[in-house]
Amino acid sequence: MATEGQRVVLITGCSSGIGLAIAVMLARDKMKRYYVIGTMRDLKRKDKLVEAVGDAYGKTLSLLTLDVCSDESVKQCVDSVKDRHIDILINNAGVGLVGPVEALSLDEMKQVFETNFFGVVRMIKEVMPDMKSRRSGHIIVISSVLGLHGVAFNDVYSASKFATEGMCEGLAIQLMKFNINVSMIEPGPVNTEFEMKLMTEVSKKEFVGADAETLNHFRTCYLPTQINLFKGLGQTPEDIAKVTKKVIESPRPPFRNLTNPLYTPIVALKYADETRGLSVRTFYHMLYNLGGIMHVSQIEALKLLKDWNYSQINCVQQ
Ligand SMILES: NC(=O)c1ccc[n+]([C@@H]2O[C@H](COP(=O)([O-])OP(=O)(O)OC[C@H]3O[C@@H](n4cnc5c(N)ncnc54)[C@H](OP(=O)(O)O)[C@@H]3O)[C@@H](O)[C@H]2O)c1
């Protein structure tokens, strides 16, 4: 149970990846400022988290079952938290979907929205009224850079993150009146089970309904570029946990938080031209003209350039 002065943090989807890393980082906070409720839809998957958090288990971390796609599960979980008191809600649970739209079923698309969008809505509806009455709280969503700009063959996943960004942007304004902060964390590629699950799905699917030319673009341009991007630019779940902790501990938590500085110019491109033609054409060029040649070595070079830029900025600031 949380002790006096500790902030209660509830995180969804803690069985792996980013949710697990955030749970571990907050539960192992040196000053023990957080009491973490790590949730997952199947507690049989708890071992990785329990092992990673070590002796904090049972002290600053407890576990609860929670499926963000079920009204009942969400209510039961929040009801079982002492006084329903949650200071920080971290909406992390999410699923991906890639492929040509015409080859994806509406059921698959609805499942993505059910988790990534309505899952967040369900959690916020359950937790926000108590935050409002206490006039304090912080709602965080692990969104994505794909919630800020579309990427070919990720259309539906991107739409689910755009929808969440849109809803939260409105809420952020309204909730300022109640002293509640809303923050989006927007990672680029992160090396977790997420990509592996997607690739396993892709390898099993025939994508019936897509024409041969589109399928060829998907398999020969998109997939290799994607694999290289994860290898070359992928962050670790701990990188995302660090950014999230920094946002939580900020006196004025920002609304938007990109985690990978290499994506800042890509996102800025969208706002540099009001017609958005510039960013659409740039992505087209990257996928179809550079896609095949965006090898790991070139991505590594981009990374070095980014690190060099940062060291220059730091030199100027010091
Ligand atoms: N990895 C990336 O490149 C990347 C980039 C940008 C944003 N993100 C976002 O980061 C978040 C975490 O993803 P990750 O990379 O850590 O992937 P991950 O390792 O696959 O973790 C996703 C987590 O969500 C859980 N989950 C899925 N459906 C759920 C449901 N209905 N109820 C509760 N939990 C559910 C999974 O639990 P189970 O074990 O039960 O399946 C798992 O613990 C997602 O929102 C994702 O969109 C990821």
- Summarised one tens digit per residue, pLDDT across range 177-204 is 999 999 999 999 999 999 889 988 998 9
Indicate the pTM of the whole model: 0.93
Q: CA-CA distance, 105 to 159, in Å (whole number)? A: 15
Q: Using most ligand atoms within 8 A of CB, pick from 92, 114, 184 the residue to mutate for ligand 1.
A: 92
State yes or no: pLDDT of 247 exceeds 90.
yes
Q: Which residue has the least CA distance to atom 1 on ligand 1?
A: 190
Angle (CA) 282 287 292, round 5°: 135
Full set of structural domains in the chain with CATH: 7-190+235-259 (3.40.50.720)
User: Is residue 42 lining ligand 1, measured as CB closer than 6 Å?
Assistant: yes
C-alpha of residue 198 to centroid of ligand 1, in Å = 11
What pLDDT is attached to residue 136? 98
State yes or no: pLDDT of 314 exceeds 60.
no
> Among the atoms of ligand 1, which is closest to the Cα of residue 197?
20
Q: CA-CA distance, 227 to 218, in Å (whole number)? A: 12
User: Is residue 147 lining ligand 1, measured as CB closer than 6 Å?
Assistant: no
Smallest Cα–Cα separation from 91: which of 177, 166, 5, 161? 161
| pLDDT cut 90: percent of the chain above it | 75
Task: Average the pLDDT over 240-258 and give the result.
Answer: 98
Point out the annotated binding site.
13-41, 67, 144, 161
Residue 157: active-site member: yes
The answer to whether the beta carbons of residues 186 and 258 sit under 8 Å apart is: yes
* Set 157, 222, 263, 271: catalytic member: 157
Tokens of 246: 């920094």
What pLDDT is attached to residue 286? 82
Q: Please tell me the least confidently modeled range out of 84-93, 180-189, 245-254, 298-307.
A: 298-307
User: Is residue 158 lining ligand 1, measured as CB closer than 6 Å?
Assistant: no
The answer to whether the beta carbons of residues 245 and 30 sit under 8 Å apart is: no
